[in-house]
Each structure stands twice: as structure tokens, then as C-alpha cells.
């Protein structure tokens, strides 16, 4: 194994450790999170764009361009 391959392997291993630690913290968050999808009874799907603590801001998932909607209170 070349020196470059050894360094790349060490960096990849460290990156995997960092990712695992961050995922563990992220998974402890209760409720909806930024990036989560919300599906409503009428069949429309929204993605959470921002978390305002007491409500989330969804955007539609229709078409190629996200469209901001009004903020919705958390349930």
C-alpha cells in the first residue's frame, strides 16, 4: 500500500467515526427535523425547510423548484 493510500484510509476511518458520532446526536432529536418529509392526509408531501422551535416551515415537493408555504404549527 502506498503512503497516499495509507493516508486516505486513515482519513476515511476518521470521517466514518465523525459521521457515526453526528448521526447518534441527530437521532436523539425528538419530533420532526429539517429535511424530514411530511405527508398530509390529502396526499400532498412537504419537506421541512426550517425549524422555528414552536413550528416548522415546509416547502412543497412538487416539480423541480421548492415552493415555500406558510409556516405550520407543530402538532
- Per-residue pLDDT tens for 15-74? 999 999 999 998 998 888 898 998 888 888 888 988 888 888 888 766 555 555 555 555
* Enclosing domain of residue 20: 1-30
| pLDDT on residue 12 | 97
Residues 71 and 48 in one domain: yes
Q: Are 26 and 33 in contact (CB under 8 A)?
A: yes
Residues 26 and 36 in one domain: no
Residues 57 and 43 in one domain: yes
**Number of C-beta neighbours around residue 21 at 10 A:** 10
Q: Could you tell me the three cell numbers for 22?
A: 453526528
| pLDDT on residue 66 | 53
Amino acid at each position: 500500500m502506498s503512503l497516499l493510500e495509507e493516508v486516505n484510509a486513515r482519513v476515511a476511518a476518521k470521517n466514518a467515526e465523525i459521521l457515526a458520532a453526528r448521526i447518534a446526536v441527530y437521532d436523539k432529536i425528538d419530533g420532526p427535523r429539517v429535511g424530514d418529509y411530511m405527508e398530509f392526509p390529502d396526499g400532498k408531501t412537504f419537506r421541512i425547510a426550517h425549524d422555528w422551535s414552536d413550528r416548522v416551515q415546509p416547502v412543497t415537493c412538487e416539480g423541480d423548484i421548492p415552493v415555500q408555504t406558510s409556516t405550520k404549527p407543530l402538532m
